[in-house]
A and B are shown apart, each in its own frame.
Chain A
């Protein structure tokens, strides 16, 4: 498993760079409790800011990629991702309402905005499933269509709220673009508690995902309960993604992009694909976040812009491959 050392290396790199450069050797010394003689501020920067933020980036990126794998496998559609289930639009709506209603953005734990985003994501996802009705798992397009329709509805409400609250437009926009700034230990804990179990469940269902990806009737014939398995997979996918979006906003393209790369590198079998994608997503978002906070110091650009800049050309390459021998087929 090359993922563990690769992720560890990337995390060290990300923790090392920033407004203040802390050499990796010194980081290891501070982590080992032998940082005597090094500036006190370094230890504060590491423990209070960079380490929790970088860990959060890894956890968010990992679970977004994992969700992409399960959606693409389940819907047998290389362009699907968990955001299509209404998670990002629901989160954005929740966050927008919180921004408009609440005078300040603070608050303990996830904060007012994060909590509202999480509740919005879960509520809207449940609404998407209800709207899709009983056939949702049998005909995936119903679920995707219902997700798209409800996403439009959420977007309309967001725009309406923006129209009436022009002074908050910037905050709403920036929240939607996604960012990992001001991520403390509580959020790391929150992400660990939800996304790690969700990822483990999804990874353990890898073989079942293989079977489901052959189609509903076929999966039934191969001895799984397609309805129940799909429901479990989607429940954990939604929960994990919502937890991530509540912390970091709707960071795009990870869920779409990483599974394709992981499939290309190690084949389509979901047994390993889920874990491989988790590492891929974690590594990618740690690096993207590093870029987001270092390209234009001392300011930051929203990390969603970085992932979009990487994602757009990637999608074009994917689309070109589709015409020929089918790069989409990994």
Chain B
């Protein structure tokens, strides 16, 4: 049996200050699945991603990547295994788009070797896939928010990660670019990657995700297929807002038009 990409076992984490507590959370993220992390602000979705990425380490419990403890992987091995797009990107000044996307190859080429033929081909493919050809030589610091977000996604995918962690990948993007991203993520999970993304729009989760993890108050409330998890009653508990279900053209449940819970 293939190893599970991400396993959390009774993971707890507490920030140095504040009352927030995360966990205990136990879960498994399977390969080939697009998992949407859904929940209100401050629920712990980003904390969960940060824990999986290793930016923060759990106070208790254990996180395994492919059956091996997180800390047993070297930083570069981890970079080949997993790409992470956090929410607030910083822009290095002056880097042209193509070169910036090429940084995604770092875990493969290391600090000294130059990008090889295959690396350059992967970078070019991502540039084409995200429609960035006309920006190739522009500096990343001069891009619009939406353009830069696509460049970051291209960089993350150039890493060829088995696990993709994305904190609100649709940030800064217009409707069609957002759908472009979600479609691409579906493709990537279909190709066997494990995709975990924080999504704020429940309808995005309903339409694109294979699984939804509902996170609230630092706990994993429940997980399962989106149509089961994103029921209006459950969401009302979490958000305090009652959404109205309706059926779209393909017979799928969608949510809309909030009416306030008394």
Residues A207 and B111 in contact, CB atoms below 8 Å apart: yes
Say yes or no for B95: interface residue by CB 8 A criterion: yes
- A205 and B111 contact, CB distance less than 8 A: yes
How many chain B residues sit at the interface, stated as a range, is 35 or more
Q: Across the interface, which residues of A come within 8 angstroms of B159, CB to CB?
A: 222
**A to B contact number (C-beta, < 8 Å):** 104
- Chain B hits for A216, CB < 8 A: 90
B249 at the interface (CB under 8 A from A): no
CB atoms of B93 and A220 under 8 A apart:
no
Number of interface residues of A (CB under 8 A): 31
Q: A211-B103, A269-B95, A269-B99 are in contact. List 20 more A-B contacts (CB 8 A).
A: A76-B90, A76-B91, A76-B92, A204-B112, A206-B111, A210-B106, A213-B92, A213-B95, A215-B92, A216-B90, A217-B84, A218-B90, A220-B55, A223-B80, A224-B76, A225-B75, A267-B94, A268-B92, A268-B94, A330-B139
Are B93 and A223 in contact, CB atoms less than 8 angstroms apart?
no
**Interface flag for A214 (CB, 8 Å):** yes
Q: Is the CB of B47 closer than 8 A to any CB of chain A?
A: no
Instruction: Determine if A85 is an interface residue (Cβ-Cβ < 8 Å).
Output: no
Q: Which residues of B contact A220 (CB under 8 A)?
A: 53-55, 75, 84
Q: Does A144 contact B (CB under 8 A)?
A: no
Contact, CB under 8 Å: B111 / A204 = yes
Report A210 CB to chain B, min CB distance, Å.
Answer: 6
Nearest residue (CB) in B for A215 is B90
- 8 Å CB interface, B111-136 against A: 111-112
Interface residues as binary, B52-79 with A (CB distance below 8 Å gives 1, 0 otherwise) = 0111000000000000000000011111
Cβ of A222 to closest chain B Cβ, rounded Å: 5
Q: Are B83 and A221 in contact (CB under 8 A)?
A: yes
CA distance A206 to B112 in the complex (A): 9
User: Is A78 engaged at the interface, CB distance under 8 Å to the other chain?
Assistant: yes
A216 to B89 alpha-carbon distance, docked (Å): 9
- How far is the CB of A259 from the nearest CB of chain B, in Å? 10
B79 to chain A: closest residue by CB: A223
* B107 and A223 form a contact (CB under 8 A): yes
B203 contacts A by Cβ under 8 Å: no
Given A204-B111, A208-B111, A221-B53, A214:B75 Cβ within 8 A: no
